[in-house]
């Protein structure tokens, strides 16, 4: 069960009290306000003349009313691994991640303020692929699942083919030049930024309708992760069209890709044998690791470090200590 931070509990109490006061005075409650915002955001977006946008809005209604969006967000919260995490040495076999790390700008206040497609934006892809995988498998990730997620080439298919990723037979070879161009893409003009924020707010409205209006009711990491993933896909579409500035059509294409991913049984994508044949679950290249039970991040303990040196993950999640005998 998700732990609720103290400041969240305090704000929930304050909002509950405010709602009771407003209800007693015949004023709009937070739930009523959310319904009004949801209606206004839908109507505004429907009024825009953007190719493919109405199709995206229909998809949003579909995944909401069908329960798929709720299942997806719940899977983001619930996904866990039961095997050991992949080591940094093993992850180096993922050429895409290696190229991204070498060529995308490191996340900083500057890249964030300029809405650059930086390394943090790229790293939003893995948790959402994991979420889609868990949505379809319904089970904590085994060793084979972890290999499939990291080494099937689904990530390369998404970045190269976007909403046609399921039609790509051979894993595309992305280059350092592609990532150098991707790192220059950004949401530059106000019109595109406002459009991007409006769809984001619409989906937040829907999340509030599903889970409620309180901090205790949803995972605070989900919305920013989804938003970064949309920016990543939009940046890729801009690169494919030889642009540095992300425009509204790129955002539309990104959402089409995201919703197709959500509806696809990605467990069909299996790890490429040549990349994983030398990997052994029982023989990692380190002996001790801390793994977060909430977000799945992990940290290799150095020789002079102890589990007692760490209270919690950066996301606030509980850390699990795993120890493996050194077989070297």
For 79-131, write each residue's pLDDT tens digit.
988 888 888 778 888 989 989 999 999 999 999 999 999 999 999 999 999 99
> What is the pLDDT averaged over residues 160-173?
96
* Residue 300: its H or E element: strand 298-300
What pTM value is reported for the model?
0.83
**pLDDT, tens only, 194-248:** 999 999 999 999 999 998 876 555 667 899 999 999 999 999 999 999 999 999 9
Q: Chain-centre distance of CA 173, in angstroms? A: 23
Residue located via tokens 């991007």: 196
Give the mean pLDDT of the chain: 89
Q: DSSP secondary-structure letter at 216?
A: G
Instruction: Provide the token pair at 59.
Output: 């998809």
With bands split at pLDDT 50, 70 and 90, how would you rate the model's confidence at 306?
confident
Percentage of residues of the chain with pLDDT beyond 90: 65
Q: Comparing C-alpha atoms, which of 263, 210, 255 is closest to residue 237?
A: 255
Domain residue spans of the chain: 6-276, 288-323
pLDDT at residue 328, rounded to an integer = 34
Helical axes 68-78 vs 125-137, angle rounded to 10°: 110
* Long-range Cβ contact pairs of 211-217 (< 8 A, separation 24 or more): 211/70, 211/73, 213/15, 213/30, 213/31, 213/34, 214/12, 214/15, 214/16, 215/4, 215/5, 215/8, 215/9, 215/11, 215/12, 216/4, 216/8, 216/9, 216/12
**pLDDT, tens only, 236-249:** 999 999 999 999 99
> What is the pLDDT averaged over residues 44-68?
97
Residue 304 has pLDDT above 90, yes or no: no
Q: Comparing C-alpha atoms, which of 100, 136, 144, 47 is closest to residue 236?
A: 100
Beta strands per DSSP E along 248-297:
288-292
Whole-angstrom Cα distance, residue 38 to residue 33?
9
With bands split at pLDDT 50, 70 and 90, how would you rate the model's confidence at 28?
confident
Residue 274 has pLDDT above 70, yes or no: yes
Cβ atoms within 10 Å of 125's Cβ, excluding its own: 22
Residue 7 has pLDDT above 90, yes or no: no
pLDDT at residue 176, rounded to an integer = 93
Say which residue, 91 or 57, is predicted with more confidence.
57
């Amino acid at each position: 069960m998700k732990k609720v931070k103290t400041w969240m509990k305090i704000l929930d109490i304050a909002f509950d009290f405010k709602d009771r006061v407003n209800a007693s005075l015949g004023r709009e409650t937070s739930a009523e306000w959310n319904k009004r915002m949801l209606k206004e955001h839908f109507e505004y977006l429907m009024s825009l003349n953007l190719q493919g946008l109405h199709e995206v809005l229909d998809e949003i209604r579909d995944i909401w009313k069908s329960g798929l969006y709720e299942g997806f967000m719940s899977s983001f919260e619930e996904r866990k691994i039961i095997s050991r995490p992949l080591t940094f040495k093993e992850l180096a076999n993922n050429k895409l991640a290696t190229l991204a790390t070498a060529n995308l700008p490191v996340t900083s206040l500057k890249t964030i303020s300029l809405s650059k497609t930086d390394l943090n934006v790229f790293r939003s892809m893995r948790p959402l692929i994991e979420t889609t995988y868990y949505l379809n498998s319904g089970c904590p990730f085994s060793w084979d699942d972890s290999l499939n997620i990291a080494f099937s080439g689904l990530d390369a298919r998404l970045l190269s083919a976007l909403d046609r990723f399921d039609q790509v037979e051979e894993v595309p070879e992305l280059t350092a030049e592609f990532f150098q161009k991707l790192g220059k893409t950004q949401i530059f003009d106000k019109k595109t930024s406002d459009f991007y924020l409006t769809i984001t707010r619409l989906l937040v409205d829907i999340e509030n309708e599903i889970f409620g209006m309180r901090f205790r009711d949803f995972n605070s990491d989900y919305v920013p992760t989804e938003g970064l993933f949309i920016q990543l896909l939009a940046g890729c579409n801009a690169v494919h069209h030889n642009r540095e500035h992300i425009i509204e059509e790129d955002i539309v294409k990104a959402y089409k890709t995201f919703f197709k991913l959500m509806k696809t049984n990605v467990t069909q994508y299996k790890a490429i044998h040549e990349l994983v044949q030398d990997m052994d679950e029982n023989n990692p290249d380190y002996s001790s690791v801390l793994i977060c039970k909430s977000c799945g991040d992990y940290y290799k303990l150095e020789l002079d470090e102890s589990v007692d040196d760490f209270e919690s993950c950066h996301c606030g999640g509980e850390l699990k200590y795993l120890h493996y005998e050194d077989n070297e």
